[in-house]
Structure 1
Amino acid sequence: MRIHWLQHADHEDPGCITPWLAQRDAKVGKTCLPAGDTLPSVDAFDALIVMGGPMNIYEHAEHPWLAPEKRFIRAAIEAQRRVLGICLGSQLIADVLGAPVTRNPHPEIGWFDVRLNTQGQAHPLFADWPQTFEAFHWHGDTFAIPPGAQNLACSDACAHQAFVYGHHVLGLQFHLEVTAADARRWYQVNTPAPETYVQAPDRVLPRLDAFALNNRLMCRLLERFLG
């Protein structure tokens, strides 16, 4: 298995995905876009993972690497590579597939329930998941569902939490991959003021069992999507 992942911030990495890949002896490559790393050929990998980041997908002047990254993601999708996008990554995929990405009515940061809709419950990736599960979130923007894609899930704060496009593209707005150590690092970089759907670190970081459960769900999803 040849996996390539895209990084947008030093403090955001694949979390629990990294040991899952190591256990399967995957060949893993990385491009850090802000550092100016060169993007590979799409022939160099079987699956692409597009991670999150604090920027917005429309901030091209501040982040000129966004435009070539979007072209790269489009090429990977057209080449039928498996493509998984998480948070910013899902928004970049949605944009590439022709769906608007806009500010969400509320920022959503912390532990909030995600509900699978009828399509989500029936989809093979989520078929035996609970209809409602608690997930870690950290986003201010949201994607519309791309033409031809299936909307799979929502939360109280965000109408679109997951989508699939064909058999090879998956976008997740929430963060199943984040470990407890990752979340501590994120709050060290930025601690948003609490509001309706923004929780303070003392409500988030002690939830070790919740992080562990999210990581198990992420690994189960990887088995189905990449396995």
Structure 2
Amino acid sequence: MKREVLAIRHVYFEDLGSLELVLGDRGQLVRYLDVGRARIDAPNPLDTSLMVVLGGPIGAYDDALFPHLNPLLAMLEKRIAAGLPTIGICLGAQLIARALGAKVYPAAQKELGWKALTLTEAGRASALRHFEVDGQSTPVLHWHGDTFDLPDDATRLASTDLCENQAFSWGDHVLGLQCHPEVLVDRFETWLIAYPGDVAESGTDVPTLRADTLKHGPALERAARKMFGEWLDRFEPAK
């Protein structure tokens, strides 16, 4: 297995963000596979030390419109069955849920903005504990209109008032994150430029999102790096 991370990217600015900094500190190389620029079924999902499926504005159930979804689901199924480290963020978490047999569907309400997670007991015992320190919760960025049922044998790690399944684990090697812990403050403006329709539909506005990102983003970057580092340690402790 190559000491390399395969990141499936749907939109160029929804990358690994702060999590990539952790990988760089550990000497892990990241190879992005940009959907629409390469055959999604080209790489062997068993070849890399970590596979991450990132976010995007499409639905995890839109196979008829986006034919790359079926081979991507097949990659996830193969990798998860092999017991290899796999993470999904937002759309990626929805695709993992679907690969595990759960239903993905439109949520009753779009969740967009900064909000703290409510960790479950299992969440507080996991690497997500870094989002809740000494009773203080770190707000994270939410930007989604879909949700999913908890897959069979999965463990719920976190919720919000609008989304029961914000984070889950499956076995020791799979992590699904509906929220966006990876976001970097200095790259957030691109989100506002790219998705004004989402913002208008959500009930918030650009100035509020920009101000909240400046307020909460630095703490999230610190917490997310600690969370991700601890999660990686189960497979390869930091040197």
TM-score above 0.5, yes or no: yes
Higher alpha-carbon deviation: 93-102 or 31-40: 31-40
Q: Secondary structure at the match of 1:174?
A: coil
In structure 2, the residue matched to 1:162 is: 167
Shift of 1:89: 0.3
Instruction: Measure, in 2, the Cα distance between the counterparts of 1:127 and 1:11.
Output: 27
In structure 2, the residue matched to 1:94 is: 97
Instruction: Measure, in 2, the Cα distance between the counterparts of 1:183 and 1:73.
Output: 28
Whether contact under 8 Å (2:119, 2:159) holds in the other structure is: yes
Higher alpha-carbon deviation: 204-213 or 109-118: 204-213
Instruction: Measure, in 1, the Cα distance between the counterparts of 2:191 and 2:89.
Output: 15
Whether contact under 8 Å (1:113, 1:133) holds in the other structure is: yes
Whether contact under 8 Å (1:5, 1:29) holds in the other structure is: yes
In structure 1, the residue matched to 2:226 is: 220
RMSD over aligned Cα, in angstroms?
Answer: 1.7
Report Cα offsets for 1:64-107 as digits up to 9, x if no partner: 00000000011111121111110000000000001111111110
| Alignment of 1:114 onto 2:117 | yes
Whether contact under 8 Å (2:130, 2:224) holds in the other structure is: no
- Of Structure 1 and Structure 2, the greater helix share is in 2
Whether contact under 8 Å (1:180, 1:205) holds in the other structure is: no
Distance 1:128 1:138, change over 3 A: closer
In structure 1, the residue matched to 2:25 is: 23
Shift of 1:194: 4.3
* Identity fraction in percent: 30
Instruction: Measure, in 2, the Cα distance between the counterparts of 1:182 and 1:77.
Output: 31
Q: Secondary structure at the match of 1:205?
A: helix
Equivalent of 1:175, from 173, 180, 184? 180
Instruction: Measure, in 2, the Cα distance between the counterparts of 1:104 and 1:97.
Output: 19
Alignment of 1:45-124 (within 5 A): 45-121=48-124, 123-124=125-126
Q: What amino acid maps onto 1:40 in structure 2?
A: P
Distance 1:129 1:54, change over 3 A: closer
Whether contact under 8 Å (1:151, 1:162) holds in the other structure is: yes
Whether contact under 8 Å (1:108, 1:137) holds in the other structure is: yes
User: Which stretches in structure 1 are left out of the alignment for 5+ residues?
Assistant: none
Distance 1:226 1:128, change over 3 A: closer
Whether contact under 8 Å (1:34, 1:63) holds in the other structure is: no
Instruction: Measure, in 1, the Cα distance between the counterparts of 2:199 and 2:173.
Output: 37
TM-score by length of 1: 0.92
Q: What amino acid maps onto 2:64 in structure 1?
A: A
In structure 1, the residue matched to 2:216 is: 210
